Structure 1
């Protein structure tokens, strides 16, 4: 069975509406009609001003890219290579800057943008969120000492777009020290990512020389294609 787990957490906004109507009548026999007419005109002006429609900003246009992020050494470049070619025939060099990959599936063209995970490149992550339709975050599941760092950066990203779907790849599942997706879910506190995010967690592994793509990698690729092809 594929090591995949999808947790849909669609939030419902709770709206509270309430109104209190209060009418007070004053009997002002001592006031002249002219003064009362001026007061009524002033009140009409205030009411008209209060009823003006507020300025509503246009919603952000949905992005078109799959943003591929994660700490350095998580295996992002190898996974992208497998997504594009179906296997990993040779070692790939870690991404030192930006890596763009295009995958065509029938009439669908998906643009992946990988940004390196070294400390000097992490500042660029949030700047590219506005172009993303989907965020894929890769974690080295065998490097437990850096789970807290990965959690820190992931939770910094998510509030910038509360409705951005998230696919978390628990990579390197073939290593002896690898943590399962349940442990990783808890370590990264994914239960607190926000109600609006559609969240999927999939275990993956990439081995050089394998002619067939790992089941988890294929599941992740298929899920991303499905999410990008949906409305």
Structure 2
């Protein structure tokens, strides 16, 4: 797989520096969720609360059930969340790293919410796409949406998290590379593939997720 950086294959590939300050919130309160539902019925875009002075953004996308919220929680807090509900709207994590504030924005992966994905690409410095590696029946759908996202930006860095690697029958990085046709994402793009898993009974965040956090923040710091 020429031009592809594989991370997370041999354990910790990056030193985790720590020193992160973070805040987590959901964009949609119960009242806002009702407003969003009403907006969906009328075809209007749901209102989104602005993040305070965040100057960098990482967009976290993937089909429903891929494990985006669990990974996002680990990236932000360095801990494993015991119970995670499906994202019904938007989740955001804001990390302060040195002189840079990074907003991790997750948009739910349900069919209705996928229609909003492209609206948020313009501000992103990095796209993180999470795939359930143990659900091959949905690989074609994940591939279609991923290529639809990146087709208009040949340089947007892409980090693919091949998630749920702890499950029986999970596909390897090489298999996922082929299933998602990642050889077609473009030679100009920085592309990384990381195998991840997050289990609710884990006592510590897996090293692969720590690697992902360090890699993503490095990519953001190098962005324009």
Displacement after TM superposition at 1:95 (Å)? 0.7
**TM-score, normalised on structure 1?**
0.72
CA deviations 1:154-210 (Å, max 9, x no partner) are 011111211100000000000011101000000000000112211000000001132
Q: Which residue of 2 aligns with 1:87?
A: 79
1:3 paired with 2:34, answer no
CA RMSD of aligned residues (A): 1.7
Q: Which residue of 2 aligns with 1:228?
A: 220
Flag the structure with larger Rg: 1
Whether the 8 Å CA contact 1:89–1:210 is kept in 2: the answer is no
Distance 1:194 1:89 in 2: 35
Change (3 A) 1:89 1:121: closer
Distance 2:142 2:8 in 1: 24
Mind listing any 5+ residue stretches in structure 2 that lack a counterpart?
Answer: 1-6, 11-54
1:122 paired with 2:114, answer yes
CA deviations 1:38-96 (Å, max 9, x no partner) are xxxxxxxxxxxxxxxxxxxxxxxxx8210000000000000000011112141111111
Whether the 8 Å CA contact 1:88–1:208 is kept in 2: the answer is yes
Mind listing any 5+ residue stretches in structure 1 that lack a counterpart?
Answer: 5-62
1:168 paired with 2:141, answer no
Whether the 8 Å CA contact 2:156–2:189 is kept in 1: the answer is yes
1:144 paired with 2:136, answer yes
Alignment of 1:1-231 (within 5 A): 2-3=8-9, 64-231=56-223
Distance 2:182 2:81 in 1: 33
CA deviations 1:132-163 (Å, max 9, x no partner) are 11000000000000000000000111112111
Task: Count matched residues.
Answer: 174
Distance 2:208 2:60 in 1: 17
Distance 1:159 1:2 in 2: 26
Whether the 8 Å CA contact 2:62–2:68 is kept in 1: the answer is yes
Displacement after TM superposition at 1:101 (Å)? 0.9
Change (3 A) 1:118 1:89: closer
